[in-house]
Amino acid sequence: MNAVKPLRADARRKRDALLVKAREMFDAGTFFDLRFDDFAGLAGVGVGTLYRHFPTREALAEAVYHEEVAALCGRVRQLQDTLPAADALASFLRGYVDYLDVHRGLARTLATLMATRSSTLAEGSQALERAVLGLVDAAVRDGGIRQDVDGGAVMMAMHGIGAAHDRENWRAEADGLVTLVLDGLNGAQP
């Protein structure tokens, strides 16, 4: 098996500049409005550099997606290391709503990409799901939430929150739904 050769520092900076600019365009909701070559100029790199790192718009979008998923999974690990399991789960769910609120354009675009390229992006989605299910399982084991909790239901609530991001009162409704989910997780077992 061939090991991936690490990028030189200048190549890493240029790749990172492209990702930062792509993320900004996602957040602004203009990622698909630009010609693909325009990302190079916006990031201050040459077109050849763009194509060397990301041969297609989809490759650039996928790289942003994978970085975002990695950051969210990293947040889960950090919360697990610093808080009791139930508190870590609550903090992550509330933070996830904050994340979606700040990155509305990114969330909308990635939801569209996931629908059209689900086989390519499934790995990232599965990684985030495993991380969240780990939070749920740890909270159940610690007795911090009900013992009959199904982590899949928590994931369904998260997906529903993300899918409804275009609603007029989305933020208030999303915060309310997270409170409802957390109340249900802490409630009496049937």
| Residues 121-155 pLDDT 10s | 667 778 888 999 999 999 999 999 999 988 888 98
The residue that leads in pLDDT, 20 or 11, is 20
pLDDT at residue 25 greater than cutoff 80: yes
CA dihedral sign of residues 143, 147, 152, 155: negative
The mean predicted confidence, pLDDT, of the chain is: 86
Residues 6 or more apart whose Cβ sits within 8 Å of residue 22:
31, 39, 60, 61, 63, 64
**Shared domain check, 150 and 138:** yes
**Shared domain check, 39 and 69:** no
- What pLDDT is attached to residue 159? 84
The residue that leads in pLDDT, 31 or 115, is 31
Q: Which of 65-79, 117-131, 132-146, 167-181 is least confident?
A: 117-131
Residues 6 or more apart whose Cβ sits within 8 Å of residue 38:
none
**Shared domain check, 96 and 31:** no
**Shared domain check, 60 and 22:** no
Q: How far apart are CA 65 and CA 57, in angstroms?
A: 12
**Shared domain check, 89 and 42:** no
Residues 6 or more apart whose Cβ sits within 8 Å of residue 50:
18, 36, 37, 39, 40, 43, 60
**Shared domain check, 89 and 15:** no
**Shared domain check, 159 and 107:** yes
State the residue range of the domain holding 131: 56-186
Residue 2 lies inside a defined structural domain of this protein: no
| Alpha helix positions (H), 103-169 | 104-116, 118-141, 151-163
Residue of 87, 99, 98 lying closest to 135 (CA atoms): 87
Q: How far apart are CA 39 and CA 19, in angstroms?
A: 9
Q: How far apart are CA 141 and CA 31, in angstroms?
A: 42
What's the CATH code of the domain at 42? 1.10.10
What's the CATH code of the domain at 135? 1.10.357.10
- What pLDDT is attached to residue 68? 87
Q: How far apart are CA 113 and CA 63, in angstroms?
A: 12
Tens of pLDDT, residue by residue over 26-38, are 888 888 889 999 9
The residue that leads in pLDDT, 47 or 103, is 47
What's the total number of domains in the chain?
2
pLDDT at residue 170 greater than cutoff 70: yes
Q: How far apart are CA 17 and CA 14, in angstroms?
A: 5
